[in-house]
């Protein structure tokens, strides 16, 4: 009887112990399962925090310019219409600050009839020289009016001379830029393809063009006046691939070896004066002159008469612009601008043919609804040189109204 009781008690204890062991094991499994879920959740949180940190380094900005223009009779004839609505610019700019001193910029343009890449470049601070940066990619050429953003410019379009020698404003290349800390000095040096086509991704010849700009800033203490003085220069060339004949700026004929380079050189000076006077005013100007070249498009297999009919061309040019800007209260601004451009300074009158000079007056009024919305009224009045090719003043004035929204 005692043995039976002992066996019974042992069996019951064993069953109870086994049951308890199973419960504990099951509980451990549940705890481990939940711990795994919590660890996975922690990893997801860490990943999300890392992604959020990257997103915080991205800055998105941009602007849209909706515009209406009406034209003089001669422009109406050439356009086929007297007025139009269109989107002048619609740009979104993405800036990614990867690290301290490392920045990437991407800016497409979605304006009417156009989808283009305007900016795509990286900016890196040179180690141990934080005021010296290296730019690589596609960006503005170093010139005051070229670099001055179209979202801030006081008139609707850039000056004629700038549009002629810097079409599209951007180029692909490398740029070193120094901005002084103790000395108010800015120095830029750029090496670029020099194609001036805007859509050409790769160079079309072996020679790289060089461009430089230097600006020194002066502040007059107690007067509220600041002055920027600068100089810039361009050194480049166009390859004469097929045609050995040249037409000089003065109309004389010359020759060059095929696969030689045509000079493309100029220099300029600039000044900007800013005064805290009666609400604020500014006077800005730039002058530049030099020689530009245009390669012939005639193939090397063409006969001599065809090559002579369309030779390579050299043209000495000169141009300048002057702005007068006056703030009227806190929300309005009056602008008067005069610009001059002569594409061929060696010839004038009938000898200049279609290379006539233009003198252009522009009057503008800006109204700022707030920090993001600006309404611009702009009236441009060009006056052309009179000669046999243009026996009268062209009726090509343009009135433009623009609404700009920035974000």
Q: Are residues 246 and 376 in the same domain?
A: yes
Q: Are residues 225 and 140 in the same domain?
A: yes
Q: Are residues 311 and 280 in the same domain?
A: yes
Query: Per the structure, how many domains does the chain have?
Result: 2
Tokens of 71: 């034209």
Q: Are residues 167 and 126 in the same domain?
A: yes
Domain that holds residue 5: 1-56
* DSSP letter, residue 258: T
Q: Are residues 111 and 182 in the same domain?
A: yes
Q: Considering only CA atoms, which of 77, 88, 116 is closest in space to residue 200?
A: 116
Q: Are residues 14 and 129 in the same domain?
A: no
Quote the Cα angle for 172-173-178, to 5°: 125
> Which of 12, 32, 56 delimits the end of a domain?
56
* DSSP letter, residue 115: -
Q: Are residues 181 and 99 in the same domain?
A: yes
Q: Are residues 196 and 325 in the same domain?
A: yes
Q: Are residues 15 and 62 in the same domain?
A: no
226 in Cβ contact with 217 (< 8 Å): yes
Q: Are residues 46 and 112 in the same domain?
A: no
Q: Are residues 268 and 124 in the same domain?
A: yes
> Which of 37, 56, 75 delimits the end of a domain?
56
Q: Are residues 7 and 148 in the same domain?
A: no
Going residue by residue through the chain, which has 407 residues, state the pLDDT in tens, using 9 for 90 and above. 545 455 444 444 444 454 555 555 565 565 556 566 556 666 665 555 556 666 788 999 999 999 999 999 999 999 999 999 999 999 999 999 988 889 999 999 998 888 889 999 999 998 888 799 999 999 999 999 999 999 999 999 999 999 999 998 999 999 999 999 889 999 999 999 988 655 556 888 899 999 999 999 999 988 899 999 999 999 999 999 999 999 999 999 999 999 999 999 999 999 999 999 888 999 999 999 999 999 999 988 899 998 999 999 999 999 999 999 999 999 999 999 999 999 999 999 999 999 999 999 999 999 999 999 999 999 999 999 999 999 999 999 999 999 999 99
């Amino acid at each position: 009887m005692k043995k039976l009781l002992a066996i019974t008690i042992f069996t019951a204890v064993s069953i109870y112990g086994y049951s308890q062991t199973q419960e504990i094991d099951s509980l451990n499994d549940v705890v481990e399962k939940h711990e795994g879920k919590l660890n996975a959740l922690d990893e997801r949180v860490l990943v999300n925090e890392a992604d959020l940190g990257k997103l915080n380094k991205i800055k998105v900005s941009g602007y849209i310019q909706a515009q209406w223009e009406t034209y003089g009779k001669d422009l109406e004839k050439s356009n086929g219409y007297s007025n139009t609505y269109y989107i002048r610019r619609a740009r979104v700019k993405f800036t990614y600050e990867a690290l301290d001193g490392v920045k990437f910029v991407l800016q497409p343009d979605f304006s009417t009839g156009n989808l283009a890449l305007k900016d795509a470049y990286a900016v890196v601070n040179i180690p141990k020289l934080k005021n010296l940066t290296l730019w690589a990619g596609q960006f503005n050429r170093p010139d005051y009016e070229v670099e001055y953003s179209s979202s801030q410019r006081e008139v609707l379009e850039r000056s004629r001379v700038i549009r002629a020698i810097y079409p599209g404003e951007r180029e692909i290349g490398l740029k070193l830029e120094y901005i002084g800390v103790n000395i108010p000095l800015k120095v830029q040096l750029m090496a670029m393809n020099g194609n001036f086509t805007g859509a050409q991704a790769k160079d079309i010849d072996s020679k790289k063009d060089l461009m430089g700009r230097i600006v020194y800033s002066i502040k007059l203490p107690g007067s509220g006046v600041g002055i920027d003085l600068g100089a810039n220069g361009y050194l480049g060339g166009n390859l004469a691939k097929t045609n050995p004949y040249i037409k000089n700026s003065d109309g004389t004929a010359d020759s060059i070896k095929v696969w030689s380079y045509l000079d493309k050189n100029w220099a300029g000076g600039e000044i900007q004066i800013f005064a805290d006077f009666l609400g604020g005013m500014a006077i800005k100007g730039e002058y530049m002159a030099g020689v530009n070249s245009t390669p012939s498009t005639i193939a090397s297999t063409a006969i001599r008469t065809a090559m002579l009919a369309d030779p390579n061309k050299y043209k000495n040019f000169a141009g300048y612009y002057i702005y007068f800007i006056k703030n009227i209260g806190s929300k309005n601004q009056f602008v008067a601008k005069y610009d001059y451009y002569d594409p061929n300074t060696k010839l004038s009158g009938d000898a200049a043919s279609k290379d006539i000079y233009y003198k252009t007056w522009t009057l503008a009024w800006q109204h700022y609804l707030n920090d993001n919305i600006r309404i611009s009224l702009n009236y441009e009045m060009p006056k052309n040189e009179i000669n046999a090719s243009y026996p009268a003043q062209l009726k090509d004035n343009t009135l433009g109204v623009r609404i700009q929204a920035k974000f």
